[in-house]
Amino acid sequence: MHRMTNQQVTAAVACACAGLLLTSRSEAFRMIRNAGVGRTSSGSTVPCNDPGGFVHWTTSSVGWSLNPANQGSKAGVVGALQNAMTSWNQVTPASYTVVYIGTTSRGFTTDGVNTVMWSVGNGCTGGCLAITALVLQSGQVITETDISFNDAATWNTNGSDYDVQAIAAHEFGHTLGIHHTEVKKASNRPTMYANYIGLSGRTLESDDRDALNCSFNRYRPAVLVVAGVETGNKTMATLSARPNPHGANLRFPLMHEDHVRLDLFNVAGRHVATLVDAEMGPGEHEVAWDGATSQGQVANGVYFARLATREGRTSATVILAR
């Protein structure tokens, strides 16, 4: 199987730059649009003002977990991922907060947890270095994303190819709905072009920032919740959700007796059901939801579950796929 050495790539990039089209224009950035039902889904490229819209979050906070298997356990990986997140968090006036939550055993699955992992598989082998999957609801609303790095490649955190931070910054851009830019200049290329090898690829350019601000201005997040993560702290229970053939199971542990309220919201933030509102004892609890509400059955899709106890709140994304 074809595999380039890091030295070959570095040399080849230098060669390739001279041949690229030297153009630069405003708003060259492009967004990802769900091409829709009826064809396989890879996402088309559209400008910010496309009448059909593009994929976007409805929340301003997006939490990420790292599966530390394989090269995910390398020293410096967490810091590299956090730096890549920070580069997007610093874009203003957009106010997205992409945060590192902690480690997880989850994989490249639709499970409500945004996961970064290193694996040989997940559709990313051979010449693929990293792959990003977006889970969408209602056409263009992002409810979860996962990134899988090809563990067969050699990954570094010191700027040498392949640099985790540089490529993570590029892939996180995709998870925020940004496609590849049409800017093709020889230097200071946007992160959302191909200049994501080595140290220079770590830095966002104005075209990258404009793209995120475009999304923010068009789809300004109305609800501030942490989506797609298992959240919690030392005293707060964690909440996880997993689809089952009849609906979804929501699981949470309680360290001691507590009052528990478990609510479900749709992606627009509207309350759809209260599954639990009671005192519960310590231990592991699991609540099944088949989509039933006081108004009848809801459609299959993505919902947000919020668990509230006296110690605080936590949330998780629920996939209803019966």
Question: For residues 129-148, which are near other proteins according to CB under 8 A?
Answer: 129-139
Q: Is 288 in the site for other proteins (CB under 8 A)?
A: no
Closest distance of CB 110 from other proteins, Å: 6
Residue selected from 52, 79, 123, 282 as contacting other proteins according to rule CB under 8 A: 123
Q: Which of 51, 98, 67 is nearest to 221 (CA)?
A: 98
Q: How are beta strands 296-297 and 292-293 bridged, if at all?
A: antiparallel
Residues numbered 300 to 319 that lie near other proteins (CB under 8 A) are 300-302, 319
Instruction: Collect all residues with Cβ–Cβ distance below 8 Å to 39 and sequence separation of at least 6.
Output: none
Comparison of 54 and 260: residue with beta carbon closer to other proteins: 54
Query: Which residue shows structure tokens 């709905």?
Result: 177
- Total number of residues binding other proteins (CB under 8 A)? 73
Q: Is 12 in the site for other proteins (CB under 8 A)?
A: yes
Cα–Cα dist 162/174, whole Å: 18
Q: Is 196 in the site for other proteins (CB under 8 A)?
A: yes
Comparison of 43 and 53: residue with beta carbon closer to other proteins: 43
Helix (H, G, I), strand (E, B) or coil at 209: helix
Q: Is 9 in the site for other proteins (CB under 8 A)?
A: yes
Convert residues 240-279 into a mask of x (bound to other proteins by CB under 8 A) and - (unbound): --xxxx----------------------------------
- The answer to whether 45 touches 30, Cβ cutoff 8 Å, is yes
Closest distance of CB 1 from other proteins, Å: 6
Q: Is 11 in the site for other proteins (CB under 8 A)?
A: yes
What length is written for the chain? 322
Q: Is 13 in the site for other proteins (CB under 8 A)?
A: yes
Query: Which residue shows structure tokens 């819209």?
Result: 53
Q: Is 193 in the site for other proteins (CB under 8 A)?
A: yes
Cα–Cα dist 200/184, whole Å: 15
Q: How many CB atoms lie within 10 A of CB 247?
A: 20
Residue selected from 52, 79, 127, 269 as contacting other proteins according to rule CB under 8 A: 127
The two structure tokens encoding residue 51: 């009448």
Q: Which stretch binds other proteins (CB under 8 A): 4-12, 69-77, 97-105, 231-239?
A: 4-12
Comparison of 44 and 97: residue with beta carbon closer to other proteins: 44
Residue selected from 25, 26, 38, 294 as contacting other proteins according to rule CB under 8 A: 38
Residue selected from 28, 43, 82, 263 as contacting other proteins according to rule CB under 8 A: 43
Q: How many CB atoms lie within 10 A of CB 18?
A: 8
Closest distance of CB 261 from other proteins, Å: 26
The two structure tokens encoding residue 86: 């920070």
Closest distance of CB 268 from other proteins, Å: 13
> Could you write out the three-class secondary structure of 44-107?
EEECCCCCCCCCECCEEEEEEEECCCHHHHCCCHHHHHHHHHHHHHCCCCCCCEEEEEEECCCC
Residue selected from 25, 26, 37, 234 as contacting other proteins according to rule CB under 8 A: 37
